Amino acid sequence: MTQFTDLPLDPRVLQAVAEAGYTTPTPIQMQAIPPAVEGRDVLGIAQTGTGKTASFVLPMITRLQRGRARARMPRSLVLCPTRELAAQVAENFDKYAAHVKLSKALLIGGVSFKDQDALIDRGVDVLIATPGRLLDHFERGKLLLTGIEIMVVDEADRMLDMGFIPDIERIFGLLRPGSFQTLFFSATMAKEIERLTKAFLRDPVKVEVARRATAAETIEQGLVMIEGSRREAEAGEKRAVLRALIDAEGEACTNAIVFCNRKVDVDVVAKSLRKHGYDAEPIHGDLDQSQRTRTLDAFREGRLRLLVASDVAARGLDIPAVSHVFNFDVPTHSEDYVHRIGRTGRAGRSGKALTIAAPRDDKLVAAIEALIGREIPRVPVPASPASRRPAAEGERREPRQDRPRTRRDERPAARGGAAEGPGPQLLAPRPEERRQDEETPAAPSPRRAGRGDDRRRRPEEREDRVVGMGDDVPAFIRMSFEERLAG
């Protein structure tokens, strides 16, 4: 079996790898490192958890040993879809570059431009960035990309989900043609991704490693069907079922991730769990960076039991094994199911993944079962969903399911779905809106400059709440003029 020492890596990189406790390279590392060190383009088809980060970071460090960084002209660029993933790549870089002298800068939202500019001005070897933030810096004239020798695109499929492909194309166009190597990673090869690789990669070495679907074998899975006859009643019913499931697992549930499809639900579910006395915190792209870091640290260190997350926010997070995954919603993309449940049962530990599904999720469930190649066992809703503590006087209780709800935090997002006519369906989010979770894709430059994110948000997430109407503002009042016309 190949050892790290058999790979053509700089001895100081090998030393750092040994200190990290790794002896055997993972399959993606074994196959991608030699051509990457040689300077070839690499197309890696691999998911998080396969060791893909080291498969590009280690060759980068080895290759960047020769040469020096110049002011404002970084020598390599790693593009990541989310801040968390970018921060993790940066952490990996620090770990593996412990014995070499290379500088890096992390360009992500939520961090001041001034500090980032100062780093770039001094010259960096490695720039790790989300596409929107990188273009912001470029447009401010603070950055030149013509010195890039190595370009890495990480999690391209997630970039596609988030609408970043035009940004990626634009960034490729800012590099000096023919003078850089590309290392390109994606978990899947959608048509659009294939088009991108054909346009920008030169005779790449294609490396594909097994999907994580196999990991699902070690995980106990269950599907809980709720009645969910009316969309309005469904969210409340799901929250009650979630509590019942957590209670039924008892102490076996040491730590868990609760996945929601939409970030608006991430907040609602976390709030609801807390209200019922559970130790839960949300994580999604609208929280500021320090809050996200605090929440993640608490979860990693075992001080937080339940992390409520969206797929995008959780993507790429290096979280040690969790005992349970609860899918508050059936994921719209079946691959996300595999990602989600792969968070439990890691490294031979036993894990349990329970999914809450409504009758309308039938097609999604069938797609997931086709992907994992087996049926998810149906499990009954555990008896009497008990509240941890009664709601204090004056505190809101769960909505009664027979009452039309108008609570702001439970209303589905406005816009889209107009074909289904008036009523709750009118307010259903369009599928693509569910994915716009973390970073907002770059719009043409004049629109980006100096404008907050607010205008791109769904009405119920905007800051411009209607004063004097409490939480019970009818949806149409929150809609913009264009949205009302579109509706």
Q: Is 27 in the site for ligand AMP (CB under 6 A)?
A: no
Question: Restricting to residues 395-414, which ones interact with ligand AMP according to CB under 6 A?
Answer: none
Least distance CB 455 / ligand AMP (angstroms): 34
Using CB under 6 A, pick the residue from 2, 12, 15, 26 that binds ligand AMP: 26
Calpha distance 51→258 (Å, rounded): 24
Listed ranges 24-32, 214-222, 262-270, 449-457: which one lies at the site for ligand AMP (CB under 6 A): 24-32
Which residue from 115, 193, 213 is spatially nearest to 153, judged by alpha carbons?
193
Q: Is 441 in the site for ligand AMP (CB under 6 A)?
A: no
Residue 65 near residue 100 (C-beta atoms within 8 A): yes
In terms of CB distance, is 47 or 310 closer to ligand AMP?
47
Least distance CB 299 / ligand AMP (angstroms): 15
Q: Is 133 in the site for ligand AMP (CB under 6 A)?
A: no
User: How large is the angle between the packed helices 263-275 and 231-249, nearest 10 degrees?
Assistant: 50
Site residue total, ligand AMP (CB under 6 A):
13
In terms of CB distance, is 155 or 234 closer to ligand AMP?
155
Least distance CB 29 / ligand AMP (angstroms): 6
Question: Restricting to residues 45-104, which ones interact with ligand AMP according to CB under 6 A?
Answer: 48-54
Q: Is 25 in the site for ligand AMP (CB under 6 A)?
A: yes
Q: Is 425 in the site for ligand AMP (CB under 6 A)?
A: no
Residue nearest to ligand AMP (CB): 53
In terms of CB distance, is 35 or 399 closer to ligand AMP?
35
Listed ranges 19-27, 133-141, 210-218, 289-297: which one lies at the site for ligand AMP (CB under 6 A): 19-27
Q: Is 318 in the site for ligand AMP (CB under 6 A)?
A: yes
Backbone angles phi, psi at 423, to 5 degrees: 95, -165
In terms of CB distance, is 138 or 184 closer to ligand AMP?
184
Least distance CB 340 / ligand AMP (angstroms): 15
Least distance CB 306 / ligand AMP (angstroms): 22
Backbone angles phi, psi at 237, to 5 degrees: -65, -40
Listed ranges 23-31, 181-189, 417-425, 426-434: which one lies at the site for ligand AMP (CB under 6 A): 23-31
Q: Is 261 in the site for ligand AMP (CB under 6 A)?
A: no
Q: State the residues that interact with ligand AMP by CB under 6 A.
A: 22, 24-26, 29, 48-54, 318
